[in-house]
Amino acid sequence: MLENEQPDRESELSPKALQESLREERAARDVVTHLAMHLNMPCDSTEKDCIPDMLKYLGRTFGFGRVFLSVLDGTVAHRLYEWTGPGIPFFRPGSDEIAFDCERDLAAFFCRTPGQYVYIDSDSGWDHLPPRMISWFKETGADSTIVFYAGRHGIGPAFVGFECHGERQVFTPRYRELLRTVVDILIIFYTRVRAEVELRESERFLRMAQGVAGLACWEIAVGKYKKTIGKCFDGDVVPDGIRVDAWEHAFDEYAIPYDERVRAVVEDAWRTGEPFVLEAMIRDGDGIDRWVEVRAQPRIGEGDDARIYGTTQNIDSRKKIERKLRDVNAKLDDLARRDSLTGLLNKREFEKDIHNLCVVFERIKRPLSLIMFDIDHFKQYNDTYGHLAGDDCLRRIGEAIISGLQRDADSAYRYGGEEFTVILPDTNPDGAARVAEKIRQSVQKLAIPHEKSSSATVVTASVGFATTNVEDGVKPVELVSNADAALYRAKRAGRNRISP
């Protein structure tokens, strides 16, 4: 089967198969959390060292027979990295042309339908598939294969495939969504490793070129003139004769505010005789601002013998890579801080934030409030409607919490299971009570049916809240304990209510 959407066979699953599917989905969520937490670390290896290990980890964790990463370079498809499980040989098709044509077909499909996936299942019949696709799939020995499009990265369009051997795998919508997240994190990591390798190579080149006088060499007689040999942009650095600028125009090429900064550094070097290195911005002939590195050494003397000599190197590409790395690391950091199901901040972030905020608000003598709430009879909800419906319920409640917070300073967290917390800085008990009641009402207004609840006919929440004592101060563990005790008072009082 080659299409955008795999038929939803969840209704056909036996209880055992459904339980296995749920187990695999939970494993996928664990993988997302693991990757998000551990990939945001300094990496000194190349992609050839890191990516195979990552594919091996994914294959073993999910129980796949083969995991691969491929790209299309022009008209040639390359399987860059591949991991195979025990007893499964590396893919060696009878004809390389078959494999390349098939992966070209996949790349063409993804380019027409970005963001989708391809699912191939041996039980569904192959008559409608191209002959080379049938040959390719038969030679892999897989019972089912799912391939995700991963966008354009590095040298061409990339895609990641997972093959199941021994039995046909059912990919439920939730499982496919989680695999999609895993693929996104893997490609972010792949892009980051490539960028770090490029950055190391760029820095190595710059270190070798620092002593070469062919980039842009200049000489300044401070207050008189600046003489330049060579150029930094518009192609390769080529000596192009001598250009002499009057002193008042010596810094025209630097972009504001770097012109005055460079002038100040040069004049300070003139007075002290100390060498300097700085990064600044130059405006090229097209009016585009680009980064350069300036290195200089003064020579103090009498009259016209006093000079400052320097070189200017183009580091614009390095700066772009650094910006790309910052963006990638910011995405990884955000993934590591959030719960993958609800999008709320996770328990690790809660423990860090509550500790820091208790210290700050005890010092400034202002109140800090904490709300803890629990979904009523959630185990019965899961038993009645299934874990997939339970996940959807938690996700909708997380969205309702986020949309209901009025201040940027307020933060919501998934504390664990069906339990949530909200930190309210500079909030007294009356304010905490109003927010707690608003949360309770927002959960009830979702009107999610719950026929096994003894509190209502829909999903509800029990809410407890506590506030620090401004005079005495409260330790983080005490504030959490007080809010938790309030939550259990609300439960004992009949649930679907708030309690201080």
In CATH, what number is assigned to the domain containing residue 412?
Answer: 3.30.70.270
DSSP 91-141: ---S-HHHHHHHHHHHHHHHHHSTT-EEEEEGGG--TTS-HHHHHHHHHHT
Q: Which two tokens stand for residue 65?
A: 């027979």
Sheet order of strands, 225-230 included = 242-246, 225-230, 216-221, 307-314, 289-299, 276-283
Nearest to 309 by CA among 211, 210, 221: 221
Nearest to 170 by CA among 401, 388, 474: 388
What is the structure's pLDDT at 245? Answer: 82
Last residue of some domain: 287, 319, 351?
319
Amino acid at 55: L
Q: Which two tokens stand for residue 309?
A: 């000599």
**Is residue 328 included in any domain, yes or no?**
no
Q: Do 246 and 291 share a structural domain?
A: yes
Q: How far apart are CA 84 and CA 104, in angstroms?
A: 22
Last residue of some domain: 202, 229, 254?
202
CA distances from 237 to 9, 19, 112, 200 (A): 62, 65, 41, 21
Q: What is the mean pLDDT of each run of 10 residues along the chain (500 residues)?
A: 45 57 65 62 61 83 86 63 83 49 65 67 65 74 82 66 81 79 80 77 61 64 78 49 76 82 86 87 80 86 74 83 85 83 89 90 90 92 90 91 85 91 93 92 92 90 90 82 93 91
What is the structure's pLDDT at 214? Answer: 38
CATH of the domain at 269: 3.30.450.20
Helix (H/G/I), strand (E/B), else coil: 231: coil
**Is residue 410 included in any domain, yes or no?**
yes
Give me the number of domains the chain comprises.
3
Q: Which two tokens stand for residue 365?
A: 């003598």
Nearest to 217 by CA among 271, 161, 160, 297: 297
**Is residue 331 included in any domain, yes or no?**
no
DSSP structure class, residue 169: P
Q: Do 178 and 47 share a structural domain?
A: yes
**Is residue 1 included in any domain, yes or no?**
no
Pairing mode, if any, of strands 419-425 and 368-375?
antiparallel
Q: What is the dihedral of CA 425, 429, 434, 437, to 10 degrees?
A: 110
Q: Do 227 and 195 share a structural domain?
A: no
Q: Do 176 and 32 share a structural domain?
A: yes
Q: What is the dihedral of CA 12, 17, 20, 25, to 10 degrees?
A: -10
Q: Do 187 and 219 share a structural domain?
A: no
**Is residue 129 included in any domain, yes or no?**
yes
Q: Do 119 and 258 share a structural domain?
A: no
Tokens 């551990």: give the residue.
Answer: 38
CATH of the domain at 90: 3.30.450.40
Contacts of 450 (CB under 8 A, 6+ apart): 376, 377, 380, 381, 384, 456, 457, 458, 459, 460
What is the structure's pLDDT at 316? Answer: 82
What is the structure's pLDDT at 130? Answer: 65
DSSP structure class, residue 494: T
Domain boundaries, position 452: 338-499
Contacts of 35 (CB under 8 A, 6+ apart): 182, 185, 186, 189, 335
What is the structure's pLDDT at 239? Answer: 43
Q: Which residues are catalytic?
A: 418
What is the structure's pLDDT at 486? Answer: 94
Sheet order of strands, 368-375 included = 411-416, 419-425, 368-375, 461-467, 498-499
Chain centroid offset of residue 69 CA: 19
> Could you count the other beta carbons within 10 Å of the beta carbon of residue 397?
24
**Is residue 332 included in any domain, yes or no?**
no
Contacts of 259 (CB under 8 A, 6+ apart): 251, 252
Last residue of some domain: 286, 319, 352?
319
Nearest to 173 by CA among 16, 15, 25, 40: 25
Q: Do 276 and 349 share a structural domain?
A: no
What is the structure's pLDDT at 440? Answer: 92
Contacts of 60 (CB under 8 A, 6+ apart): 85
Q: How far apart are CA 433 and CA 421, in angstroms?
A: 14
Nearest to 131 by CA among 153, 159, 98: 98
Phi, psi of 456 (to 5 degrees): -165, 175
Q: Do 293 and 185 share a structural domain?
A: no
**Is residue 3 included in any domain, yes or no?**
no
Cβ 471 vs Cβ 439: under 8 Å: no
Q: Which two tokens stand for residue 151?
A: 């966008």
Q: Do 216 and 194 share a structural domain?
A: no
Q: How many CA atoms lie within 13 A of 344 on its CB side?
A: 31
End-to-end CA distance of the chain: 57
DSSP structure class, residue 154: T
Q: Which two tokens stand for residue 399?
A: 């969205």
Sheet order of strands, 156-164 included = 76-84, 66-73, 156-164, 144-153, 117-121
Q: Do 410 and 262 share a structural domain?
A: no
Q: Do 218 and 176 share a structural domain?
A: no
Q: Do 183 and 82 share a structural domain?
A: yes
**Is residue 333 included in any domain, yes or no?**
no
